[in-house]
Structure 1
């Protein structure tokens, strides 16, 4: 990895290229920048051995469009963050580039959008993932989805009167689909000033037509894995769903604001991304992933890497890292990491005595009662 991040801008409009460069230099004056007006020959813009951290391409260009350019970038530099800039943010364009592009930015771009991209690059570099693992995670097929869930979703979405509650529930059982849809719902192309952590709100923002398009695309991309892989996938997805449900129950007991409850729910649900990506890497003969990376569980590091790569806020990623890097129970006064931590211990089938001890640590009577009333799971110790 280069000492300084490398950025490649691709656009046939020289004025747009200069505007991008000026804005980028204001934000990160010490980064390295390369400009390309000839999209068909973009690889020749980069000196030999230079790997871009970030590639931003316009969509409509002579001879070749940006989606094809980003497909080529993904093949040559899968570890690069890929961004499509377009004035056409219709459903067809956005859904068609959901694999090639990590971000879709509307034109004209805003400096705030560029700032978010720069922060994303900073956060990814701080994780220090091995190069071979970064390359595998940067390809379009590093996460599996279950064909059965895809079929159920498509059936529900094409009903005469789609049931939003049923659709949200189906999506909540498939963390990969949930992650992709929420990524789009919070992307800059929709123009919302406030991010959302609610699956229901995400679907309403996108509209069921776009949701159906994304789900259909994912169905085309996915191939059925082995029976063993499908079984493991179901176990990982179901465990994440149970974890999210437990987190929701505890968060509701604390009377946290709805936005914070949604944040914790999504954090728990998307914690499956790291384990699922490991499963896919193993099935495809990818690199062996160590148990820890820089002293943090690799499941969590990979989850955070993917969430950052897809533009999720730092707050969500920091929660995941905080829980995984704790050598002891988080401070009970800080309710969000404490709830996530205890819910994970509960799913690991901690003892009733442990839950009662944790209940004594918290000052919030609602959470205290909720911990005392959690039902015993199979395998829990009664004492």
Structure 2
């Protein structure tokens, strides 16, 4: 019986360590050759026998384990389940040539990321770099281990991955985007609802998926797909609680977009703020999966939820500014370098909370931070125009 790793070092000067497991030696040789120059300062180990891999984990203590799914003797999913017990803080990645929705659901039981074969070696190296960044997130080790060990950690929804892959191509056709989102009736219904909401500020209702895509824009469509898909995964959380968190996400997204417009932001910056609003409750969703933290104070729950959200968005390779914004949304004054994206989300979230609790907004919003960012007068003016409504 292998003993679990008892420590997880987080020294900044550590060299990232990765263990690759594949029973095809040719694949391991290709990885060794390709990554030698792309990750020259990393410690890389290669294992062709999945049955020996658990012992290597306890000896090597890798930051990341990358395993093929279809191997003789032990599948990648079975191996990574063992890794999750032996070294809970290790990021676990499955490589598979069968990246169907069914495989994704199965792999999600043991892995954090699912990558398709054949893989692009440079893209794989970038994924490893982003996964390694998790090692240095400002998260307590106990919470890091708890998050990594979650059996029900949400994964990127299959339709989101399909949409992202298509949008990365040249000559994107909106009709095809509409066809992709139409595959899922629940997601399509939410897109139509948001496209017809007062926030979008159009008098004529949309009636088709294509009209919804055109009105919302590709970035908002993509992240609505992500938001709805993630919330639907966590079936062990009561539907009423998931619905409440999703509704909060939509409302804060609306407020964040409105405030960004008030700040004179570009269309791109407004879309980023709306997207961030959609994703800001993911940490609260993860908190529901860790009931041992629910009896903490509200401040501590917010801190844990924010750190959890940052962990998940970093794992999904979101831009560092997005990761920082969700990680400090309730207390941006603790951020090492608060940027305008974080400040705008903080204002929208605190205005939403003031409406929900009846607490005066100026007791919730960080005035010194907004003054330093130069948006305090704009925030005061905008908040003064807010009514008790504001729903999407």
Give the structure-2-normalised TM-score.
0.64
Q: Is residue 374 of structure 1 aligned with residue 383 of structure 2?
A: no
Q: How many residues align?
A: 322
Which range is displaced more, 230-239 or 75-84? 230-239
Query: 1:279: Cα distance to partner?
Result: 3.5
Structure 2: gaps (5+ residues)? 1-7, 155-179, 196-216
1-structure distance, mates of 2:254, 2:68: 41
Aligned equivalents of 2:248 and 2:297: distance in 1? Answer: 22
The structure-2 alpha-carbon separation of the partners of 1:169 and 1:25, relative to structure 1 and needing over 3 Å to count, comes to: farther
Aligned position for 2:90: 80
- More displaced stretch, 298-307 vs 133-142: 133-142
- The reply on whether 1:119 has 2:119 as its aligned counterpart is no
- The secondary structure found in structure 1 opposite 2:290 is helix
Corresponding residue number in structure 2 for 1:297:
303
C-alpha contact (below 8 Å) 2:324/2:342 kept by paired residues: no
Q: Which runs of 5+ in 1 are unaligned?
A: 145-156, 173-195, 379-383
Q: Distance in 2 between matches of 1:24 and 1:313?
A: 23
Cα deviation per residue 1:286-312 (whole Å; 9 max; x = unaligned)?
Answer: 79979889xx93332221012212333
Distance 1:53 1:290, change over 3 A: farther
Counterpart of 2:236 in 1: which secondary structure? coil
Q: Does 1:11 align with 2:4?
A: no
If asked which structure has higher relative contact order (CA below 8 Å, sep 6+), I would say 1
Q: 1:118–1:160: structure 2 CA closer, same or farther, 3 Å change rule?
A: closer
**TM-score, normalising length from structure 1?**
0.66
CA RMSD across the alignment:
4.6
Would you say the 8 A contact 1:323–1:330 is kept in 2? no
Deviation at 1:37, TM superposition (A): 0.4
Q: For residues 183 and 305 of structure 2, what CA distance do their matches in structure 1 show?
A: 40
Question: In the alignment, does 2:34 pair up with 1:29?
Answer: no
Change (3 A) 1:161 1:269: closer
In structure 2, distance between residues paired with 1:203 and 1:235: 16
Contact 2:351 2:361 in 1 (8 A): no
Q: Contact 2:231 / 2:242 at 8 angstroms: preserved in 1?
A: no
* 1:326 maps to 2:332: yes
Q: Is the 8 A contact 1:290 1:298 kept in 2?
A: no
1:338 aligns with 2:343: yes
C-alpha contact 2:231 2:246 (8 A) present in aligned 1: no
User: CA 1:329 to 1:362, structure 2 compared with 1: closer, same or farther past 3 Å?
Assistant: farther
* Correspondence for 1:193: none
Where 2:114 maps in the other structure, the secondary structure is strand
